[in-house]
Structure 1
Amino acid sequence: MEILLQEWVSAKGFILFTIGLLAAIIGVLFGAAGFILMPSMLLIGIPIHTTIAVNKFATGISALSNVVTFVIKGQVSLKQYRSLLFFSSLGGVFGAFLAVLLSEQIMNVIACISLILGFIIVIRSSTFIVKEIKETQEQVTNKLIPFAISIYDGGFGPGSALMNITYFLKKQYNYVKAVELTRIISFSSCTGAFLFYYFTGIVNWGIAIPVSMGSIVGSFLGLKIIPYIKIKWVHLILPIIFFLLIVQIVTDLIK
């Protein structure tokens, strides 16, 4: 325990906290936490599977803090979305299982294909319908897409929240509600994936804790900023982030 405390209060611990903080803010606002978190952790020498496991823990904790806030404020009813929670957690477990079996190169290929498909969807949508509509359980009837995204999230992750935000915007949710539902899915998929990584002994607590603390702080800051986000900014920023993520993955493939 003493060794862990020394790691958490060290310069490396501060760097990890900062990475988690910035990643969570970007993740809440635009669904691209992986664009900051994973490359940054790989850059400081953390192995790929350990990075993914820590990413799932940190993202899951920060998403949980958001979900608790939503429930307390009455913005979200978890009972209403219990099937979405079930399928996304199952997808997270399945994705983590595949990640342990697959090589890093194959994982990068899968990530690249998924992000290119998401990029095409965003580009082809000249505008999102973001009118306020009555929230009902039947509003989200297709669980297959969130389930598939959760598999990708559990096994790799970068861009998964962005894919979910895009999906909910296409389903005619307003941007704030799309973010809320995406955080619910992120919590359940990351929890399922993390539990699998934990029981396979991949988690490094010396890394996971400072990143998670930064993620919690960043997630609350991100929620404070969301009401000031203009939808025209989203139209501009979403395809840019998709493109940058694709460039990052392709760069890893050709190294």
Structure 2
Amino acid sequence: MEYILLFFTGICATTLGTLAGGGGLISLPMMLLLGIPVHSAIGANKVSNTVSSFSSFFHLYRKKQLSFKEVYWIIPISIVGGISGGYIASSLSEKNMYVIAIGLLIFAFITSYLGKGNFTGEESLRANKISIPGLYGIGIYDGLFGPGQGTLMLYLFSYLNIAYIRAVGYVRLATFSSCIGAATTYIMNGKIIWPITIALLAGSLTGAQIGVRIAEKLKPRLVKPVLRVVTIALIIQILVNQIM
């Protein structure tokens, strides 16, 4: 029964994560509720995110909705950002990490009303003075804390006037890049409970394919309202975790 529940948890979490980020809102609390040790729960998430993120990206790449030549540089920036965030995390208290997370999410929420981007643009993603520090900073956040990484990245691509379906593909590639190192670390440290991880992974792969197909049909004008709802939910979850 536990494995079936984890399978459907993976579907729901990754469908949401693909569309607007914030899949951890569903998967991590559910695993902790089932009594799974926190490091094993995070490790299961990282492993499943690595595989499911790549599957979403590959689906869009195969359909020629995006070009690898345009986005290959995301990979090293996300990896270095994740490593930097992990290093910084060792010198910060948990309380300060929560403050940073809430501050970034509130900032993203406010700028979503100020910015003109609405995911209808056809700009190409270029390495410039906004995209490089933006992606690197979000990579640091992912390594430092994690929840909301995909949501923050979608806000960045909206500001850069990137079409929604391409933004989804770029976010999934960045998530794959930042998670692969973390997943390897958890595996090498023996933190992975494989039956649980495989059940979540199977659901995540299914959710990734559901999510990317919904994204292909989702009207761009609906994306920002969904992002704002997910952002508020993330802020509430972080505040509740801090209080408890």
TM-score by length of 2: 0.89
Using the TM superposition, name which of 193-202 and 103-112 deviates more.
Answer: 103-112
* 1:48-67 deviation line (CA, Å, top 9, x unaligned): 33222221111111011112
Indicate whether 1:224 and 2:213 are aligned.
Answer: yes
Counterpart of 1:32 (choices 17, 22, 25) is 22
Deviation, 1:99, is 5.2
CA distance 1:103–1:37, change in 2 (3 Å)? farther
Q: Which residue of structure 2 aligns with residue 203 of structure 1?
A: 192
- The correspondence for 1:81, drawn from 68, 71, 81, is 71
1:48–1:98 CA distance, 2 compared to 1 (3 A): farther
The aligned counterpart of 2:177 is: 188
Percentage identity across paired residues of the two chains: 33
Structure 2 residue ranges without an equivalent (≥5): none
Q: State the match for 2:40 in structure 1.
A: 50
* 8 Å contact kept, 2:118–2:220: no
Does 2:82 align with 1:92? yes
- AA at the equivalent of 2:50: G
> Superposition RMSD on alpha carbons, in Å?
2.3
Q: How does 1:107-146 map to 2 (within 5 A)?
A: 107-125=97-115, 127-135=116-124, 137-138=126-127, 142-146=131-135
Q: Which runs of 5+ in 1 are unaligned?
A: 1-10
Matched to 1:158, the amino acid is P
Q: CA deviation at 1:141?
A: 5.8
Partner of 1:6: none
In the alignment, what sits opposite 2:158? Answer: 169
1:17 corresponds to: 7
The answer on whether the counterparts of 2:16 and 2:23 sit within 8 Å (CA) in structure 1 is yes
The Cα offsets for residues 59-115 of structure 1, whole Å up to 9 and x where unpaired, read as 111011112223322233334322211110222234345557766555434432332
Count of aligned residue pairs for this structure pair: 244
In structure 1, C-alpha distance between the alignment counterparts of 2:215 and 2:74, rounded to whole Å: 23
Taking a change above 3 Å as real, the CA distance of residues 237 and 134 of structure 1, as seen in their structure-2 partners, is closer
Stretch of structure 1 that moved more, 183-192 or 127-136: 127-136
Aligned-pair distance for 1:21? 0.7
CA offsets, 1:177-234, max 9 Å, x none?
Answer: 1111111111111112212232333222222111111000011011111132122322
